[in-house]
Amino acid sequence: MDNENKSDNSKDLPIDDLSSYMNPEPSVDISMPDIPIPTPEIEQEVEDKVKDDCHVAFNFAFIGAGQGGSRIAESFGQLGYRKLAVINTAQQDLNTIKLDNKLCIGNGGAGKNPDLAESLYVDRKEDVLDFMYDSFGESIDRIFICAGAGGGSGAGTVCPLIETAQEMQRAIKAPTDKVGVILALPKHSEGKKVNANAYATLAKVWDYVEQGIVSPLIILDNEKINKLYPGLPVGPFWKTANMSIAGLFHLFNHTACKDSSYSAFDSNDYKQILDTGLIVFGAANIKDWSTPSSISKTVRDNLKNNMLSGGVDLSSGHSAGVVIIGGKNVLDELPQQNLDRAFDQFSRILRKGSVVHRGIYSGDKPDLTVYTAIGGIQKPIAKLEELKKLGDLE
């Protein structure tokens, strides 16, 4: 009787609920949708869609700003570099540049007004960044900004271009986020406004050097070029000036990937110099190599007269690359101690604790030439003062 009166709660439960009660499933907090989960990142080599036509140690890209900077970039194109682009605020200035990748960011130019060019750049910054990606690809070791310091377009866009280039290098995970700058300074005869612009531009770019953002800064001093090539006609002057800096820069980038039967200047040597801030280039033929002192004297004269920038203190430099190229017959006869004297000359000229990276190569010409890159040079105060005076800014 008692059993019959007992409450049987189970008979009151629906069949489905009873099944769940008897065979409970594990509790689930979240019902997950199908989400594709990325696998651990495997580093893949970036395909180089824009390849140089020259054999070099580093994949450099060059963007020319303004007419002067565009001409410098064009010179690198003549040497086989293909990661090239140019921008300007005037279409007519771009029309004469023999490169494929050209972008106009203005209408009629900047009229020697850097502030106007900078404002035009700010409005088109994202377009410029896309333009650089399309022109260079993503296999880049370092971007170089080429600009004339005295005009409007080049002077006004060089600094924002530095920041855009650094942004791109970080995005593509380039080996360095340092940006190179090749800055052309005007001749004295180009007038007060141009020299005043050059003073302001060099001072601004130097701030980036001191912050460790710009390296190297390469100065192409057109007044010095004017003295190195006296009497040079108007037609070939700018081509000669631009090719002098582009050619020397390329020579070091080229030799840095070449084997030597004597002594090699390698890619790490060149990178170390490129990371030192301000560098200047020079070259000189050695006509008399019969004695150690004759070569040593040529080196001194080279450093005094043949460097491509005036107003800099070479003795403040702490890193140098010295590449000597001679005909095989010359090198077969030249005593090693004579060359050692030449290399020692650089160590004596540079500041204490300096490093001189050396290279000796046989060339296809029956002569002997010394090529020089000196880095780590301190602020070019004398050049800044010169530009300030010429610009009537005192």
Residue 178 sits in a domain of what CATH number?
3.40.50.1440
Least confident of 21-30, 127-136, 192-201, 220-229: 21-30
For the cut 60, the answer to whether the pLDDT of residue 105 exceeds it is yes
Same domain, yes or no: 76 and 209: yes
46 assigned to some structural domain: no
What would the DSSP string read from start to end of 269-281? HHHHHHTTSEEEE
CB atoms within 10 A of CB 389: 12
8 assigned to some structural domain: no
Same domain, yes or no: 162 and 238: yes
In terms of pLDDT, which residue wins out, 63 or 13? Answer: 63
Segment 127-177, tens digit of pLDDT = 999 999 999 999 999 999 999 999 999 999 999 999 999 999 999 999 999
How far apart are alpha carbons 81 and 369 in whole angstroms? 24
- Please report the pLDDT score of residue 285 as a whole number: 87
Q: At 229, is the pLDDT very low, low, confident or very high (cuts 50, 70, 90)?
A: confident
Tokens of 291: 């004695």
Please count the residues of the chain. 394
Torsion angle (degrees, nearest 10) of CA 321, 201, 246, 252: 20
Same domain, yes or no: 214 and 281: no
Average pLDDT, the chain: 88
CATH at 363: 3.30.1330.20
Full 3-state SS string of 79-95 = CCCCCEEEEECCHHHHH
How far apart are alpha carbons 308 and 62 in whole angstroms? 20
- Please report the pLDDT score of residue 41 as a whole number: 53
- Please report the pLDDT score of residue 4 as a whole number: 46
Q: Which domain range does residue 322 map to?
A: 277-377
Q: Report, as an integer, the average pLDDT of 231-243.
A: 86
196 assigned to some structural domain: yes
354 assigned to some structural domain: yes
Q: At 25, is the pLDDT very low, low, confident or very high (cuts 50, 70, 90)?
A: low
Same domain, yes or no: 68 and 118: yes
Same domain, yes or no: 149 and 240: yes
Same domain, yes or no: 229 and 322: no
- Please report the pLDDT score of residue 36 as a whole number: 58
Segment 294-315, tens digit of pLDDT = 888 888 887 877 788 889 999 9
How far apart are alpha carbons 173 and 296 in whole angstroms? 43
Same domain, yes or no: 309 and 252: no
Segment 345-388, tens digit of pLDDT = 888 889 988 999 999 999 888 889 899 999 999 999 999 999 99
- Please report the pLDDT score of residue 19 as a whole number: 47
Q: Which helix (H) or strand (E) holds 173?
A: none
CB 147 within 8 A of CB 182: yes
349 assigned to some structural domain: yes
317 assigned to some structural domain: yes
Q: Report, as an integer, the average pLDDT of 53-68.
A: 96
Same domain, yes or no: 161 and 121: yes
CB 115 within 8 A of CB 150: no
- Please report the pLDDT score of residue 346 as a whole number: 86
CB 203 within 8 A of CB 380: no
Same domain, yes or no: 172 and 291: no
81 assigned to some structural domain: yes
Q: Which of 195, 229, 257 is the last residue before a domain boundary?
A: 257
Same domain, yes or no: 118 and 234: yes
Q: Which amino acid is at 239?
A: K
List, in sequence order, every beta strand (DSSP E) within the chain: 60-65, 84-88, 102-104, 142-148, 179-185, 214-221, 278-285, 319-327, 355-363, 368-377
Least confident of 108-117, 164-173, 338-347: 338-347
Q: Which helix (H) or strand (E) holds 213?
A: none
Same domain, yes or no: 71 and 191: yes
Same domain, yes or no: 348 and 237: no
Tokens of 249: 């820069």
- Phi (first) and psi of residue 297, to 5 degrees: -65, -40
Tokens of 10: 């189970």
Structural domain count, the chain: 2
- Phi (first) and psi of residue 106, to 5 degrees: -140, -165
CB 135 within 8 A of CB 182: no
Tokens of 112: 């020697």
227 assigned to some structural domain: yes
The pTM assigned to this predicted structure is 0.86
List, in sequence order, every beta strand (DSSP E) within 89-141: 102-104
CB 33 within 8 A of CB 55: no
- Please report the pLDDT score of residue 339 as a whole number: 87
Q: Report, as an integer, the average pLDDT of 66-72.
A: 95
